[in-house]
Amino acid sequence: MPSEIAFFTFAGLTLISAIAAMTMRNLVYCGLCSAAAFAGIAAIYLQLSAEFVGFAQFLVYVGAIAILIVFTVLLTRGTDIKPTVAIVSRGWIAGVVIAGLVFASISVPVFMSATLWRTAPPEVAAPVEMIGLELMTRYILPLEAIGLLLTVALIGAVVIAMREKPAESIEPEVTDLEENSTPAPRFDVSSLEVKS
Amino acid sequence: MTKLDQIFVSTKHWLVGLAPEMLQSLASILLSIIPIMAVFGGCFAVTTILERKGLGRIQNRFGPNRVGPFGFLQPMADGIKMLTKEDIVPFQSDKVMHFLAPIVLTVPIWLAFSVLPFGRNMVAVDFNAGILFFFAAGAASELAVFMAGWASQNKYSLMGAMRAMAQMISYEVPLVLSAIPVIMIAGSLSLPQIVEAQAGYGAGWFPQWHVFTPWGLAGFGLFLVAATAESNRSPFDLPEGESELIAGFLTEYSGFKYALFFLGEYLGLFAISGLAVTLFLGGWHAPLPILEWLPSWFWFFVKFASLIAAFIWVRGTMPRLRMDQLLNLSWKFLVPLAVLNLFVTAVWHFSSNWQSFGGLAARWLMCGGLLAAAYVLLGRSLSRGQGTPRKYTYAE
Amino acid sequence: MLGSGLIKGLAQTAKNFFGSYHDPARMVTVEYPEQKRVVPEASRTIPFLVYDGEDPELGLRCTACKICEVECPTQCIYIVKNTSKKPDHVGKMQFHPATFDIDISVCMGCGICAEVCPFDSIKMDQVFELSTADRFESLLLHKQQLAKPNSYFGKIHPTEAGEIDIRREQDKRKAEAKAKADAEAKARAAAEVQNAAANSAAPPPSPQTVTPA
């Protein structure tokens, strides 16, 4: 019974913060609410005694992804800009259709799989060693594929973020800020002189 | 011997036994939490005064010596001052987040202490993935820093928070990467088992701590640098760079909330020092077999205190970095070195059966040489352009 | 190599740390309420009034000429002249102040009053522990608080006080010599007058000879 209370508390908190993340107008609040939702999911993992997954979820999502979201919000647009488009709009319909398709494409294989109808084993602990061994043996191909994908994303981000250099300069990148910056055109005092 | 060693554990069991049957689990939880909070809260008070006195001595000053004998009641005076100060909330600030930020910062850091083994059988919670729990708890502090900076509605606060987040994200990578070799060698994520893996003495006297291996030494150094940055201490304290940002994300905080941030900063330092002791300095193991008669918790706190002293020493010595230097150090020096350290650790692990004299020498030379070469080369590329006369664009 | 500078710096601070415990010469701190640094002779804080001798009322050098009151940029000096006169160090009759107040909450310590004083009366003090719990009354110094003996002045500004003492001594001697000479001349004149009177069968004395110039 207490475990059920805990589950419904965490699930409720997760859902509420997820809904808040979607509906709130202030983007920073949205980011923080999504962080709360991530933390709620981590709590549910922990309640299912999946320690490793729970902590990893917290570390990666709250510690990195939420920060990234917030960072992006701050760096790209001001938090005080009011959105001009209403939440319920024409684009909304397309969004619902896409979300439904994605949900269907995930849920259909899940409900079709035989694993779902298997009764849970009494001992549900997933030790870290087992996860590691499984990742390194049975699921090595997906792991490598994900690694490759992330590397591609990383390189892509670096390419996008790289400063475009004029074609003639082939000097190596200098790390120092001072050396790198070109002197701004100076204000010429002599041009100001009034003819007397 | 074992009586003194286990005095805290047996006291706790005795006290729990006194409680009625129904409340025993609750009493057990409380008796784990309260001592940790009391000991590290006390450490916080003592460290603030010792740090100020130590910094003073480093600068040939006396440091605070007015309140109480030799100034040792200074923390009390500071505490009273902090608690009685007016709590100012800026008019335009986000009141809720402004209030929540110090709490979100402090609570996870207290949680992090629960997995540290302070002595033999002295760990509050023995998680299977304890080290992961530690890092996960530490990750929440970044969000708190952002909340503090954003809720203040002050440009200095926001810039300080941005700097702090950029710094913490950048240094979290080498911090975790330098801890992974320990997990590889110990084969466990549980901190008590990592301590167990460092038990025993090679050749009868040489402690088997991780720091006394090439990868351990490199990892320890990387870990300490990353930990300094992670706990926002000098020379990486530029989120609070008072010369340009007043006090960074702390600008709009006063009174008790400021004290909580201050507490959180020191507790973060304590937690990460405790983790460094656990991962690299053999946890609660004695450095020599003849010193084993001293209790295990004593050794933990000796190592812990010397690490704190080292942090204070570094703070008294190093000037603050510039933002680009800070990020360069992390991404161009610490991260590559930490990744190489992973490889070296793998080499060390697979050469563990080279136990002849020549084999040992080859093992040490190979691992140490790789790391030393990488250190020199990366260091040279990092400090390229330094030492040449500085070129000013605007000031002549 | 990377890190050599760091080690050098750490060694230096370690040397400072341990050195500070066995080498007191390293410590630059003067622990103020117990130890006090000797202030330089030329230092100045607020003005005070010099008096000669033992009695602050009688020996006060101030003649209530009000030059300082006029010159003070912050107008912190307030003087009321007394109606009676008293002799100064050369014996000349001078006015003296009935009231002499300085509001040191306004005084900025410029020292102009001391520079313009022709009687070497107002001089700059070196006291600096002037804080009080009361903002108004305690910071308005009256004549009684301002008057300090010449010996104190000699202690805080020995060079200047020595010069002034010598000059005043010379003035005094000169004045005494002059008084003596005048008295002699007067006596001589009187004698001459008497002689003349005796010689010329007592004519009435002319006004020129009776009142000496």
pLDDT digit string, tens, across residues C118-129 = 888 999 988 888
pLDDT digits (tens, 9 = 90+) for A25-34: 778 888 888 8
- Among B222, B233, B112, smallest CA distance to B173 is for B222
Could you identify the residue written with the tokens 């020129």? C208
- Among B208, B212, B211, smallest CA distance to B288 is for B208
pLDDT digits (tens, 9 = 90+) for C42-89: 889 999 999 888 888 888 888 888 899 999 999 999 999 888 888 887
Contact yes or no for B163/B242 (Cβ under 8 A):
no
User: Of A32-46, A79-93, B92-106, C171-185, which gets the smallest average pLDDT?
Assistant: A79-93
Confidence of residue C202 (pLDDT cuts 50, 70, 90): low
Which pLDDT belongs to residue B210? Answer: 86
Nearest-angstrom CA–CA distance, C209 and C60 = 38
Contact yes or no for B160/B237 (Cβ under 8 A):
no
Taking CB atoms and an 8 Å limit, are B380 and C2 in contact across chains?
A: yes
Structure tokens that stand for A30 in this block: 């949205």
Give the mean pLDDT of chain C. Answer: 85
Which pLDDT belongs to residue B396? Answer: 55
Is C92 among the domain residues? yes
Q: Which subunits count as partners of chain A given 3+ CB pairs below 8 Å?
A: B
Is B146 in the A-facing interface, judged by CB distances under 8 Å? Answer: yes
Q: What is the largest CA-CA distance in chain A?
A: 99
Structure tokens that stand for A87 in this block: 């939440």
Structure tokens that stand for A142 in this block: 């997906």
Domain borders along chain B are 32-382
B30, with CB counted inside 10 A (0-12, 13-18, 19+), is: middle
Taking CB atoms and an 8 Å limit, are B60 and C9 in contact across chains?
A: no
Is C11 among the domain residues? no
Domain at C52, CATH number: 3.30.70.3270
Please state the φ and ψ torsions of residue C133, each to the nearest 5 degrees. -85, -15
pLDDT at A153 > cutoff 90: yes
Looking at per-residue pLDDT, the higher value among B197 and A128 belongs to B197
C37: left (phi over 0), alpha (psi -120 to 50) or beta: beta
Number of domains comprising chain C = 1
pLDDT one digit per residue (tens) for chain B, 396 residues: 677 777 788 888 788 888 887 788 888 888 888 888 888 889 998 999 999 999 998 988 888 888 888 888 888 888 898 888 888 888 888 888 888 888 888 888 888 888 888 888 888 888 778 888 888 888 888 888 888 888 888 888 888 888 888 888 888 889 989 999 998 888 888 888 888 888 878 777 888 888 888 888 999 999 999 999 888 888 888 888 778 888 888 888 888 888 888 888 899 999 999 999 999 988 888 888 888 788 888 888 999 999 999 999 999 898 888 888 888 888 888 999 999 999 999 888 888 887 778 888 888 888 888 888 888 888 888 877 666 777 777 765
Is B136 in the A-facing interface, judged by CB distances under 8 Å? Answer: yes
Looking at per-residue pLDDT, the higher value among B388 and A181 belongs to B388
pLDDT at A147 > cutoff 90: yes
The residue-averaged pLDDT of A149-170 equals 79
Taking CB atoms and an 8 Å limit, are A176 and B324 in contact across chains?
A: yes
pLDDT at A180 > cutoff 50: no
ipTM for the whole complex: 0.79
What SS3 string covers B204-229? CCEECCHHHCHHHHHHHHHHHHHHHH
pLDDT at A149 > cutoff 90: yes
* Stated pTM of the model: 0.77
Confidence of residue A131 (pLDDT cuts 50, 70, 90): confident
Which pLDDT belongs to residue B238? Answer: 82
Say which of A32, A52, A184 has its CB closest to residue B129. A52
Residues sharing a CB contact under 8 Å with residue B4, sequence separation 6 or more, in sequence order? B295
The residue-averaged pLDDT of C146-151 equals 89
SS3 B112: helix
Taking CB atoms and an 8 Å limit, are B379 and C3 in contact across chains?
A: yes
- What residues does C102 pair with on adjacent strands? C77, C141
Nearest-angstrom CA–CA distance, B325 and B225 = 14
Can you give the residue range of the structural domain that contains C135? 47-157
Is C38 among the domain residues? no
For a pLDDT cut of 70, what percent of chain A falls above it?
70
Which pLDDT belongs to residue B61? Answer: 87
pLDDT at A66 > cutoff 70: yes
SS3 B332: helix
pLDDT at A174 > cutoff 50: no
Is C106 among the domain residues? yes
Instruction: Collect all residues from A whose CB is shorter than 8 A from any CB in B.
Output: 28, 32, 35, 42, 51-52, 55-56, 58-59, 62-64, 66-67, 70-71, 74, 79, 127-128, 174-179, 181, 183-184
Radius of gyration of chain B (CA): 23
SS3 A186: coil
- What residues does C80 pair with on adjacent strands? C99
